[in-house]
Amino acid sequence: MSVVRAERLRVNEIFHSLQGEADSVGFPTVFVRLTGCPLRCQYCDTEYAFHAGDWFDLDDILEKVGKIGSSYVCVTGGEPLAQPNCLRLLTRLCDAGFHVSLETSGALDVSAVDTRVSRVIDVKTPASNEAARNRIENFQYLTPLDQLKFVICSREDYVWGKAFLQQHGLSARCRILFSPSYGQQSPTALAEWILEDRLPVRFQLQLHKILWGDVPGK
Sheet holding 28-34, edge to edge: 54-57, 8-18, 28-34, 72-76, 99-104, 118-123, 147-152, 175-180, 202-203
Domain ranges of the chain: 8-212
Burial of 102 (0-12, 13-18, 19+ CB in 10 A): buried
List, for residues 86-141, the tens digit of each pLDDT value. 999 999 999 999 999 999 999 999 999 999 999 999 999 999 999 999 999 999 99
The pLDDT of residue 4: 43
- Pair 101, 117: CB distance under 8 Å: yes
- For the segment 163-181, the average pLDDT, to the nearest whole number, is 96
The domain covering 8-212 belongs, at the CATH homologous superfamily level, to: Aldolase class I (3.20.20.70)
For 207, phi then psi, to 5°, come to -55, -40
- Helix, strand, coil fractions of the chain, as percent rounded to 5: 35, 25, 40
d(CA 212, CA 206): 10
d(CA 93, CA 31): 12
Query: Which pLDDT band, with edges at 50, 70 and 90, does 40 fall under?
Result: very high
